[in-house]
Structure 1
Amino acid sequence: MILVADNIQITNKTIENALKTMRPDPIQEMAKQCEAAGAEMLDINSGPLSRDPEAKMTFLVEAVQEVSSLPILIDTANSKAVEAGLRANKKTAVINGFSLEPAKLESILPLAKKFDVDIIGYLLYPNSHVPPDESERLNVAMELYNEFQNAGLDKDRLIIDPVVVPVLWENGNIQAMEVMSVIKTLPDLLGFDVRTIAGVSNLTTGKGNKEKKLVLEKAYLPMLASAGLTMALLNVFHSETIRTARACNALADPMIFTWEAL
């Protein structure tokens, strides 16, 4: 699994204030800390950026890439911000992301072809609601892939997010298990080894004891790994979860095992 840091996000007050004042230092410090903690990619989650989306996303991408060579995920529903971020990008970028929502099909999906980059597709209904079960997620996956192909994109550019939901939802634990089944089934359904990404942090969103949340997160990550998950989007400052991820990767590596891998 590739570890993607979800720490650079607008819901973090430090990042929010830095973006308001256009001060790069706090954002750059966060990027460096994420890389030091084990991140292999950085998700830049700016939120919707209702004001000055182009300038703000350009600022974010440039600030991060001044101090880090890691690939970035440009994470916003604002298509103008996505395009600005892709124009500012000097390294490797991924669009995060699109769904069957008409506005995203019309304005975000085409940017993947225009800039020749990977794009994440969410298994959500056109109204952005989460499918209730595995069967419906797989139906959405077929529709999503059809739209992706109609946009003239190569299948190797697609990354699918089956959408992890909070375990506190009425059927959250059942959905957590069905997400794993979806990951296992997607290659056969679509006919190629499609890459997948899951927001591990989503599982423990909401009220709950912090230590118990971490236990659940550490338990779920190996389950996702065994299902074949390609990329894990998570808080890289959860050191025990990162250790668990490294252990999963070491066991799955076809090379001869060494303790240094941990």
Structure 2
Amino acid sequence: MQAIAAGRKATTETDADMASGGQQERKDGRPAGKAPARKKDPLSAPKRRRPKQERSRATVDQILAAAVAILEQGGFEAVTMQAIAAAAGINIATLYSYFPNKHHVLAHLARLRLDERLELLERELGALKERDDWIDGYGDVMRKLFVLREGQASSVALRQAMHASPSLWEIDQEGNARAAGFVADLLHAKFPAIRREDIDIRARLIAEYVTATLDFIQRNETGMQEKILEEIVALTASYLRSFAPAPERSPPASPA
């Protein structure tokens, strides 16, 4: 009897499961086995007005400066719209008239920083196409990029915030893709015999590697930043030299 009752229970549960399309409802109201809905991307919120007048641009500068100060003091989690408004000395409604959330504030700041770096890379790497000592020149570009990043306010804290937020991380990846394009143009000019798709892969590796290693240097507090930078420059130069085809060997001389 117990077996029959158990069988009836199993049949009832199976029928209910089939009637619901093979998914039973959980206690939280979601069908069993169904993944929770993805969180909405904070950057999908519509942008606010663009600052056209000098006064509006000054307000945006205040907002960004406030966000930088908060980042440096408390990191990504400390950045809130209320904290930004208070630090900028503006009304919260004024802040929302420019940015819908803190992610848009940080994204605006990140893109400004990124554009400065990309302008440097485009200019400097473009000039290397005409140089025979371009590999040594590439090391100089890495040094200039490091100096630029060091001079950008809250560079380390902003980079950490970009790692903490998937939506901000996408901006970083977009930047690396654009940087890789400049590197690829240089490599293609120097090694026209290498297939473009192979050049693109190597260029992206270099862009990702340089970004990651410069992040590491900036976080390093041992006083060895310059030494680490020179090691990275040397490693990059060695990798770039490996692209050149090996010289053809002369056939061995035949015995007399």
Provide TM-score, normalisation by structure 2.
0.27
Structure with the bigger percentage of helix: 2
Structure with the bigger percentage of strand: 1
Provide TM-score, normalisation by structure 1.
0.27
Max Rg structure = 2
